[in-house]
Structure 1
Amino acid sequence: MLNASDLIAEYEKTGTLEALPIGHFIDGSFTQPAHNGTMESYDPGRGKAFARFTAGTEEDVDEAVRSSKSAFEASWRDVAPVERARILQRASALILDNQDLLAVVETLDSGKPLQEAYGDVRGAARTFEYYAGACDKLQGDSFPLGPDYIGYTIHEPVGVTAHIIPWNFPISTAARGFAPALAAGCTVVAKPAEQTPFTALLLARLLHDAGLPAGVCNVVTGTGTAVGAPLTRHSDIDHITFTGSVQTGRTVMKTAADDVTRVVLELGGKSPVVVLKDCDKEQALNGVLGAIFENAGQICSAGSRLVIERSIHDEFVGELVSRTRALQLGHGLAKPDVGPVNSAEHLAKIEGFLERAKARGANILTGGSVTSDPATGNGWFFEPTIVDAVPVKDELAQEEIFGPVLTIQIADDADDALRIANDCQYGLVAGIYTSDFAKAHQLARKIDAGQIYINEYFAGGIEVPFGGNKKSGFGREKGLEGLLSYCKTKSIAARIA
Structure 2
Amino acid sequence: MTLDARSLIKAYFAEGTLPGLPDGHFIGGRIVANSDGDRLESYDPGNGQAFARFGAGKGEDVSRAVEAAQQGLAAWRDTPPATRCQVLNRAAALIRERSDYFAVVEAVDSGKTLAEARGDARSCIRLFEYYAGIADKLEGRSIPLGSGLTSWTEREPVGITAQIIPWNYPSSTFVRGVAPALAAGCAVVAKPAETTPFTALLLAQWLHEAGVPAGAVNVVTGLGSDAGAPLVRHPSIAHVTFTGSVATGVGVMQAVAPNVTQLTLELGGKSPLVALADCDVDKAVEGALWAIFSNAGQICSAGSRLVVERSIHAEMMEKLVARTRTLKLGHGLKDPDVGAINSRQHLDRIARHVEAARGRGCSILTGGSATHDPASNSGWFFEPTIIDNLAPSDPAIQQEIFGPVLSVQVVDGEEEALAMANATEFALVAGIYTGDIGKALRLARSIDAGQVTINDYWAGGIEVPFGGNRKSGFGREKGIEGIDAYVRTKAITIRH
TM-score, normalising length: structure 2: 0.99
1:299 maps to a residue whose letter is I
Counterpart position of 2:333? 333
Deviation string 1:300-327 (CA, Å, 9 cap, x unpaired) is 0000000000011001111000000111
Aligned to 2:389: 389
User: 1:278, 1:148 → 2: CA distance?
Assistant: 64
Distance 1:463 1:34 in 2: 40
1:131 aligns with 131
Corresponding position of 2:68: 67
Q: What RMSD in Å do the two structures reach over aligned CA positions?
A: 0.8
1:144 deviates by 2.5
Note the alpha carbon deviations across 1:356-402, whole angstroms, 9 max, x for none.
11110000000111111111111101100000011111110010000
Quote the residue 2:419 is aligned against.
Answer: 419
Aligned 1:349-368 pairs, distance under 5 A: 349-368=349-368
Paired residue secondary structure (1:167): coil
Moved more, 204-213 or 279-288: 279-288
SS at 1:238's partner residue? strand
Task: Report how far residue 70 of structure 1 moved.
Answer: 1.6
| Kept after mapping to 1: 8 A contact 2:451/2:466 | yes
In structure 2, how many angstroms separate the alpha carbons of the residues matched to 1:237 and 1:485? 13
Paired letter, 2:113: P
1:175 is matched by which residue type in structure 2? V
CA distance in 1: counterparts of 2:158 and 2:168, whole angstroms: 27
8 Å Cα contact 2:46/2:339 also seen in 1: yes
- Correspondence for 1:273: 273
Which whole-Å CA distance do the structure 1 matches of 2:95 and 2:460 have between them?
21
Query: Where does residue 43 of structure 1 map in the other structure?
Result: 44
**Residues 35 and 57 in structure 2, CA contact (< 8 A), matched pair in contact too:** no
Number of equivalences? 495
Q: Which amino acid aligns with 1:271?
A: S
Question: Secondary structure in 1 aligned to 2:448?
Answer: coil
Are residues 1:27 and 2:38 paired?
no
Matches within 5 A, 1:298-447: 298-447=298-447
Rounded Cα–Cα distance in structure 2 between residues aligned with 1:335 and 1:495: 67
Question: 1:151: Cα distance to partner?
Answer: 2.1
Gaps of 5+ in 1: none
Pairwise CA distance, 1:145:
2.0
The answer to whether the aligner puts 1:291 opposite 2:291 as a matched pair is yes
Give the CA deviation at 1:495: 2.5
Name the amino acid aligned to 1:53.
F
Task: Report the CA distance between 1:333 and its aligned residue.
Answer: 0.3
Contact map agreement 2:87 2:210 (CA 8 A) in 1: yes
Does structure 1 retain, via aligned residues, the 8 Å contact 2:35–2:60? no
Tell me which stretches of 4 or more aligned residues in structure 1 moved more than 4 Å.
Answer: none
CA distance in 2 between counterparts of 1:411 and 1:66 reads: 56
- Cα distance in 2 for residues equivalent to 1:142 and 1:450: 31
Over the matched positions of the two proteins, sequence identity in percent amounts to 59
> What is the CA–CA distance in structure 2 between the aligned matches of 1:156 and 1:310, rounded to whole Å?
53
Secondary structure of the corresponding residue to residue 56 of structure 1: coil
Q: Name the amino acid aligned to 2:17.
A: T
Following superposition, the deviation at residue 143 of structure 1 comes to: 1.9
Which residue matches 1:161? 161
CA distances 1:121-149 after superposition (whole Å, capped 9, x unpaired): 11101000000000011111222222332
SS in 2 for 1:340: coil
Paired with 1:80 and 1:361, the residues of 2 have a C-alpha distance of 63
SS for the counterpart of 2:376 is coil
Instruction: Determine the C-alpha separation between the residues in 1 that align with 2:35 and 2:217.
Output: 21
Stretch deviating more after TM superposition (432-441 or 392-401): 432-441
Give CA-to-partner distance per residue, 1:39-77, whole Å, 9 cap, x none: 00000010111111111111000000000012112x111
What residue number does 1:245 align with? 245
Q: Letter of the 1:88 partner, please give it.
A: L
Gaps of at least 5 residues in structure 2 are: none
Q: CA deviation at 1:233?
A: 0.3
Cα deviation, residue 34, structure 1: 4.3
CA distance in 2 between partners of 1:447 and 1:24 (Å): 43
**Conserved? CA contact 2:35–2:61, under 8 Å:** no
Matched residue, 1:449? 449
| Corresponding letter in the other structure for 2:15 | T
Matched residue SS, 1:265? strand
Spell out, residue by residue over 1:21-49, the C-alpha distance to the aligned partner (whole angstroms, 9 max, x if none): 11101111111134211100000010111
- Asked whether the equivalents of residues 35 and 58 of structure 2 are also in contact (C-alpha less than 8 Å), the reply is no
